[in-house]
Amino acid sequence: VGLGLVLIFITGTGALLVVQRELESAVDGEAIRVEPCGDALPFTALADRIQSAAPDGLHLAVLAPDRDPQRAWKALLLNPADPRDRRLATVDPYTGRLISLRPESSALQLRLRELHYELGSGRPGIVVAALAAIGLLGLTLTGLWMYGGAWKNLWRPTLRLRQGGIAAWSDLHRW
């Protein structure tokens, strides 16, 4: 039961990571939508505008463009005096305006990745997830070994209609 719950949790958070962009749009629609007007600013001009709008002590570290012209670009700002002070910004690439600025720890993608890879508990979570993966591999291999003979008949389906309903339903279930 424990292995199953861990695997269901990892599968669920993985599924959420797959639709992470859509979740961001639903949660932070106003903070990530921009109105395209011409071409985006040159990269260096945009970086200069972000740096001038950033609070004191924060420096632009990463600027990530988005493929979608109607989505804001993301920027990571760091404080060299305090390595724990990391903030994510959304930026309008056409005007250079900072749309939002918040601590990195509040980012949806970061939280989902922590839950998915570490089960929200750091290194012990990584160990538990690895053990669950090893357990799943063991279950898969022993299942293949135990039901190895059934694989031979998988591609030769039969439906025993003349032997009654139970036999026919059993055959349908195996397919």
What pLDDT score does 151 carry?
Answer: 67
Long-range contacts of the stretch 24-33 (C-beta < 8 A, 24+)? 24/108, 24/109, 27/108, 28/90, 28/100, 28/108, 30/99, 31/72, 31/90, 31/99, 31/100, 32/71, 32/72, 32/90, 32/99, 33/70, 33/71, 33/72
What pLDDT score does 77 carry?
Answer: 92
Q: pLDDT 10s per residue in the chain (175 long)?
A: 688 888 888 888 888 888 877 877 777 767 778 889 889 999 899 999 999 888 888 999 999 898 889 989 989 999 999 888 888 888 999 999 888 888 876 677 777 888 887 888 888 888 988 998 899 899 888 887 887 766 666 666 677 778 878 888 887 776 6
What pLDDT score does 41 carry?
Answer: 92
Separation between Cα atoms, residue 61 and residue 87, nearest integer Å: 10
For the purposes of burial, counting CB atoms within 10 Å of the CB of 26, is it exposed (0-12), middle (13-18) or buried (19 or more)?
exposed
What pLDDT score does 134 carry?
Answer: 92
What pLDDT score does 121 carry?
Answer: 83
What pLDDT score does 153 carry?
Answer: 64
What pLDDT score does 42 carry?
Answer: 92
What pLDDT score does 150 carry?
Answer: 66
